[in-house]
Amino acid sequence: MFCLHAGEVNRGHRYTGVYSQVKADKGYLTFFLGRDDGDLKWHKSKILAVLLVTLMLLAVGCSGGTPDNGQIQDADGKVQKPPAQSQSVSPVEPGEKKVPAGLLAATVTRVVDGDTLVVRLKDGKSETVRLIGVNTPESTREVEPYGKEASAYTRSRLDGRRIWLERDVQERDHYGRILAYAWLEPPAGDKPGEDAVRSRMFNAELLLKGYAQVMTVPPNVKYADLFVRLQREAREKKRGLWGLEVKDREPYYIGNARSKKFHRPDCEYGRQTAPDNRVRFATKEKALDAGYEPCNACKP
């Protein structure tokens, strides 16, 4: 704030207010004082622009200043409230959500099948995404039991929807697809608990509703143990594909203790399993209960 006896510049009036700005143009000074009734300005006195520095210093030390309570007196002695100071607020984009570092926001533009999506990233780039840790029955080149249902479910849930992609150790598979966990809502932190995974992650939703089986491919194993538990829950409650009446077609199955896969007895990969790693299961259910996954080649 400053005060100036305007008699030196204009009609002997005295103005008191909050200093806003001073403009110098061709030797003329324009002064702006903030008041309740608007800005006051005058532009008549031919004063050297160098006086601007002096006037700014007067903002601190002139008479009739601001009282200790922060109020301002105008020329008539009336008390005015000082203009509110603006707070510094970080800009927030409408609709933006606070997400943990590393998650990619994306919009699903096409559903290829139950576990494969095409998305548009924030920069406009289109990418194919393979969901980590789950495998839905085939529905494209060949149709497996419950494949069409799984594909239709993923389409109904994700097509056109915004999701958040969380990656594991490997960012892409050998086909160049992004490997990710798809969050319907971003988790609260970098290490979400089981409740958050159950309620917000689509990979987990596929397992819980019986549209997918666990498929663990190291080193992408962040949620592998939890996924096995979710699959067991769906199987025990006969949800989705686990409700299909499928009888064991083989007398036994060969498990590989190293890869945690199980095979039909005549599967090439099962026969190649080293004796020290070979585990025999009487039924498919027993293999699944032990945390083994079906071979992608022989599809037991």
Number of structural domains found in the chain: 3
202 sits in the region (left: phi over 0; alpha: psi -120 to 50; else beta) called alpha
Q: Are 215 and 293 in contact (CB under 8 A)?
A: yes
Q: What is the pLDDT along the chain (300 residues), one digit of tens a residue?
A: 444 444 444 444 555 555 556 666 655 666 555 554 444 444 444 444 334 444 444 444 444 444 445 454 555 555 555 554 443 333 444 555 577 888 999 999 999 999 999 999 999 999 999 999 999 998 887 778 889 999 999 999 999 999 999 999 999 999 999 999 999 999 988 889 999 999 999 999 999 999 999 999 999 999 999 999 999 999 999 999 999 876 666 788 999 999 999 998 889 998 899 988 899 888 888 888 888 999 988 888
Host domain of residue 294: 247-300
The whole-angstrom separation of Cα 199 and Cα 71 is 54
* pLDDT for the residue 93: 47
Q: Which two tokens stand for residue 276?
A: 């020290």
* pLDDT for the residue 22: 62
The arrangement of strands across the sheet holding 38-40 comes to 2-5, 14-25, 28-35, 38-40
CATH number for position 270: 3.40.10.10
Q: Are residues 66 and 155 in the same domain?
A: no
* pLDDT for the residue 88: 37
Q: Are residues 219 and 131 in the same domain?
A: yes
* pLDDT for the residue 106: 98
Q: Which two tokens stand for residue 104?
A: 């990619």
Strands (E), the chain: 2-5, 14-25, 28-35, 38-40, 72-73, 79-80, 104-113, 116-121, 126-131, 134-135, 162-166, 178-183, 213-214, 253-256, 261-263, 278-281, 293-294
Residue type, 237: K
Q: Which positions are annotated as active-site residues?
A: 130, 138, 177
Q: Are residues 130 and 187 in the same domain?
A: yes
Cα–Cα–Cα angle for 261, 233, 132, nearest 5°?
A: 50
| Closest among 250, 299, 298, 254 to 274, alpha carbons compared | 254
Which of 30, 45, 80 is the C-terminal boundary of a domain?
A: 80
* pLDDT for the residue 78: 58
* pLDDT for the residue 204: 99
265 sits in the region (left: phi over 0; alpha: psi -120 to 50; else beta) called alpha
Which of 246, 269, 288 is the C-terminal boundary of a domain?
A: 246
Residue 165 included in any domain: yes
Q: Are residues 229 and 272 in the same domain?
A: no
For 221, 222, 231, 236, the CA distances from 206, given in Å and listed in that order, are 17, 17, 9, 15
Q: Are residues 161 and 260 in the same domain?
A: no
